[in-house]
Structures are given as C-alpha cells and as structure tokens.
Amino acid sequence: MYTAKEDRYEKMIYRRCGKSGLKLPAVSLGLWQNFGFGSTLANAEEMCRTAFDLGITHFDLANNYGHPYNGSAEENFGKILDRGLRAYRDEIVISTKAGYEMWPGPYGDKNGSRKYMIASLDQSLKRMGLEYVDIFYHHIYDPETPLEETALALDRIVRSGKALYVGVSNYNREKTEEIYKIFRELRTPFIVNQPSYSMLNRWIEDNGLDEWAKLNGIGISVFSPLYQGLLTDKYLHGIPEDSRVGKGATWIRDEIDEKMIAKLTDLNDIAASRGQKLSQLALSWILSNPAVTTVLIGASRPAQIVENAACIEHLDFTPEEKQRIEEILKR
C-alpha cells in the first residue's frame, strides 16, 4: 500500500488561483499523454505517486484524454486512486474538462450544451470513482451554443455538488470576459482559464488574456509549456526515434529547422548558466509571469517529473537574462 512521503510539502510552492481561496502547486501534473490507452498502468501510477511525493497536489484530466479510447485516462486515474492515492483525496485537487468530441451522435460531439456538459461530468465521475471534482472546465469555446447556456450548465454543476469550482480552457480574452460577466451575475465560483502558453507560443500576451486575468482575479493554468517537447534538450542534436516527433505523435516536426535549433541552443546556454536544464528554464520563465498560477507538465516517466518540478528552485530572472531571452525569442 502506498504511503506518501512526510516531507512532501516542504519544497513545493503554492499559489492562490486568482482571487479564490484555492491554492494550486506552481507545478501540476497533466494526464493528457501516457496515462490512457496503451500506457503501462504501473508507470502511470508511479508518476502520480512521484508527483504527489513532490508536493504536486493537482492532477489535470479531461473526458477525452486517452484517445482513441476517450475516457481511458480517467479510468486509469480511478484505478491509481484505488491503489492508495484515494486515501489522500482531501489533499488533492482533481480537475477534468468537457468540450471536444466524446461519443457518437449530436449530443457527444464538440459541444457546450447543458446536456453534453452535465452528462459528460457524470461519466467522468463514474470513471474515476468520485463524488465531485475540484475544478470542472469547459474545454473549448463552442460557437454553436449560447455562452449563457454553457455558463448556466457549469453553475448548475457547482450547485449540485459535482464540482467545487469551474473554469474554461482555450478561451481567448474576449470570450473569457463575456462568460465572466455571466458568472458574476450568477455568483458562480469561476476561478481559472487554461490556455496553451510557452516561450514559443505567446498568444495570451498578444491577446491580452494574461493581463486581463490578473486584473480580474482569474487564475491561469498553462498547458503545453514545453511546446510539445521542443523546449527540451532532446532535439538539440537531431530527432531521437523514441521522441514524440520521431514517433510522428506531434505536429511540430516542420518547425525544427536550423533557425529553431540555433534558438534552442542559445536558450540552453542560458539555462546552463543558471544551473538549469532547458525544460526547467522554459517552465521557470512561464511561472515568472505574474498572471500564471500553475504550469501543467506532462511526463512519460517519473524522472521527468522530478527534473521539471525542480524548476521552482530558480524562478527569479535578472534583467539581463530576461533581455537576452527576449532577443533570442524574437529572432
């Protein structure tokens, strides 16, 4: 039986999510890849336990994680909870999402309807063996469903006790602001937006989402912080066969050219001068944005979680480092 390490809270940093009372670890674990169909349960379990022993209390899922067997990541996480982690339920924040295609027919496709949202969460709770999740997200804006209907569905979910807080994901500033106004009228505990963000993908800065969230007390939980693994040292000397690019499991292959390698090499030099790996630098850089609450890391083995969680040891940047990083990224 699993027993968590007693010192698990000694090093991790916890940040308040927006203006809510909920604190999230600066580093959270995302279960998008390597936790669903085709994954080894023992390895997935060891990664979750390693994360929790490091003080990573937030586990992020979605109804469709585990493709092509949607829901398999939640099913496996339910098994992992049963094998020892469930004893620590009150020390864990579990989030899941709904919005992308999930089951056949008009009620399970890309959706933001009341029917889809409520049915999807019921399925997720059953797969994980939970009475509630801590955060339930609408996964992607649905232009075919009135935003008020999606907001009312999320509000109803909280009032039914099936979620403690709600959030949105992949929403730009304009749509976030629009749904925020509805939630304020309803007094729904809307606390977080989950966008993609990295050194190589800075759309939330261009769109103003990060600044708006900070001003309005909404937390930001970042996914794809390493840009599909490109912001690691694995591609500095070619494309490894066992990498996501080597396996054809990502769309970034076309971006790996001489210009990109030169950029990554220079960033890696800055990381080395700070006593960090490139991936750690990339995560620290995201967490230096005052609008960001937590960064979601993925992993294929426990050692990656240990390595990337160590990014919190070097969150400060000198003005010279920031200027040099900006120069490299703008090339």
- Pairing status of strand 14-16 against strand 23-25: antiparallel
Q: What is the pLDDT of residue 245?
A: 55
- pTM, 2 dp: 0.94
| Contacts by residues 315-322 (CB-CB < 8 Å, ≥ 24 positions apart) | 315/13, 315/26, 315/284, 315/287, 315/288, 316/288, 317/284, 317/285, 317/288, 321/270, 321/274
Q: 24-194: what CATH class? A: alpha beta
Average pLDDT over residues 65-93: 96
Q: Cis peptide before 68, with omega less than 30 degrees from 0?
A: yes
Nearest CA-CA partner of 293 in 131, 66, 135, 156:
135
Portion of the chain with pLDDT greater than 70, in percent: 95
**pLDDT tens digits along 229-277:** 899 988 887 665 555 554 555 667 677 788 899 999 999 999 999 999 9
pLDDT, mean over the chain: 95
pLDDT higher than 50, residue 122: yes
For residues 125-162, one letter each, b for 16 or more C-beta atoms within 10 angstroms of the residue's C-beta and e for the rest, the string is: bebbebebbbbbbbbbbbeebebebbbbbbbebbeeeb
pLDDT higher than 60, residue 138: yes
pLDDT higher than 50, residue 104: yes
Domain boundaries, the chain: 24-194
Query: Which 8-state DSSP code applies to residue 293?
Result: E
- In sequence order, the 6+-apart residues with CB closer than 8 A to the CB of 167 are 95, 135, 136, 137, 138, 190, 191, 192, 193, 194, 221
For helices 147-159 and 114-128, angle between their N-to-C axes, nearest 10 degrees? 40
- In sequence order, the 6+-apart residues with CB closer than 8 A to the CB of 185 are none
Question: Which two three-digit tokens encode residue 247?
Answer: 């396996």
pLDDT higher than 90, residue 163: yes
Nearest CA-CA partner of 213 in 164, 166, 169, 176:
176
Question: Which two three-digit tokens encode residue 147?
Answer: 């935003």
Query: Which 8-state DSSP code applies to residue 170?
Result: S
For residues 167-198, one letter each, b for 16 or more C-beta atoms within 10 angstroms of the residue's C-beta and e for the rest, the string is: bbbbbbbebbbebbebbeebebbbbbbbbbbb
pLDDT higher than 80, residue 26: yes
**pLDDT tens digits along 276-309:** 999 999 999 999 999 999 999 999 999 999 999 9
Q: What is the pLDDT of residue 141?
A: 98
Question: Which two three-digit tokens encode residue 47?
Answer: 């990664």
Q: What is the pLDDT of residue 68?
A: 85
- In sequence order, the 6+-apart residues with CB closer than 8 A to the CB of 14 are 23, 24, 25, 26
